[in-house]
Structure formats: C-alpha cells, structure tokens
Amino acid sequence: MTLRRVYLRSLLVFGLIILLVLLGLSVLERQRLSGINQTLQQLETGRFIKADDVDLSQSENQFAYAWHLHQQGLFEAAVDAYGRAERAVAPDFVKVIHYNMGNLYLEQAIKVAEQMGIDRATALADVAKDLFRSALKQDPDFWAAKYNLEAAQRLSRDLPLGDLQESKAAEESSEELWSAMPGFPLGLP
C-alpha cells in the first residue's frame, strides 16, 4: 500500500515537472514571437531603419529586414541581407528567400533594361531565373515562382542583342568582368 502511494506521488511530481517545463517553454516562445511582432511593426513604418536599430538575432527578423531594404530600393544591401537570412532560416523557408531574391534581381534587370544596359540586364535576368528555378526545385507547385520565372525568361528573350546604343553608364561599367555564361571563367587574372 505504501509502495503504491510513493509510486503515485513520484508519478504526480514527475507529471507536474513536465507540465511546468512545457508551460515555461510556451511562455518563452510567446515572448520570442512578441519580439518578432514588435520588429515587424517597426519595419512597417515605411521609413528607413538602420540594421543597428533592429534585433537581427532571429531569422524571421533577418528576413523582414531584407524585405525592408528591398522596399527601400537598396539593391546591394537587400541582396546581402537576404544572403544572411538564407543561412539562418529553416530549410523549408529557403524557397521564399530565393523567390524574393529572384524578384529583387528581376526588378533590377527591368530598371537596367530601361536604361539600355542590355548586357547587365540580361545577366541580372539570368540570376533571377536561377533563383526562381531554385525555389521551384524545393517546391514544384510554387505558382508565383513559375510565373516570375516565365517573366524573367521573356525579359531576357525580348531584349535587343546589342544593336542599340548603350547609355554612358553602361559603357563605363563595361570594365567589369560579368559574364552571362554559366560556370567559372578560366584564365582570368
């Protein structure tokens, strides 16, 4: 009889400890999500916010900050922020980062094409296509990535093949070694 009471008490204590641990974990998760929501509200104001003013310790915040930079029109900074977010997020969320990076490159390709920087626009569109394909490899039913991949393919197909005069900005940047060919170039210094 006393053995049953001791057994029941220890079982009850063990059950209470597990319940307290689960309650503590749920409180911590709730606080984490609250911090993420505060960061999202801060980024939705529409004004530029420096990286120092945002808690980038959470992968969700890193992704949101990359989107914020994208919305502010800061191409290079957004690409860097998406790259950092890609290394921090869960593997099933990488497709969304590739999709957003593809959109960023596609937007930049359209801007450059409007300024008649044909070669650079083609290269940017090719990077966008690769990113959309990467998102589709992870989720073949990702309809938005399929649509934007087709848009990027049409953009690079419809660009003229160099018979137009490029702007001076495009001519000045011709010193860059930016190839549209896949793979690594051989024989460069």
The Cα–Cα gap between 136 and 126 comes to 15
Domain-located, residue 145: yes
Parent domain of 79: 47-174
Question: Does residue 23 fall inside a structural domain?
Answer: no
Percent residues over pLDDT 70 in the chain = 75
Residue 162 lies in a domain: yes
Would you call 89 helix, strand, or coil by DSSP? coil
Instruction: Let me know: does 124 contact 109? Beta carbons within 8 Å.
Output: yes
State the total domains in the chain.
Answer: 1
The CA distance from 103 to 118, in Å, is 18
Give the global pTM.
0.65
C-beta of residue 62 within 8 angstroms of C-beta of residue 43: no
User: What's the confidence (pLDDT) of residue 130?
Assistant: 93
Strands (E), the chain: none
Residue 181 domain flag: no
- The verdict on residue 32 lying in a domain is no
Predicted local confidence at residue 17, as pLDDT? 93
Burial 89-111, CB ≥16 within 10 A → b, else e: beeebbbbbbbbbbbbbbebbbe
Write out pLDDT tens, residues 60-103. 778 888 888 888 888 888 888 888 888 888 888 889 999 999 99
CATH code for the domain of 90: 1.25.40.10
Please compute the mean of the pLDDT values over residues 147-173 and round it to a whole number.
65
pLDDT at 174: 45
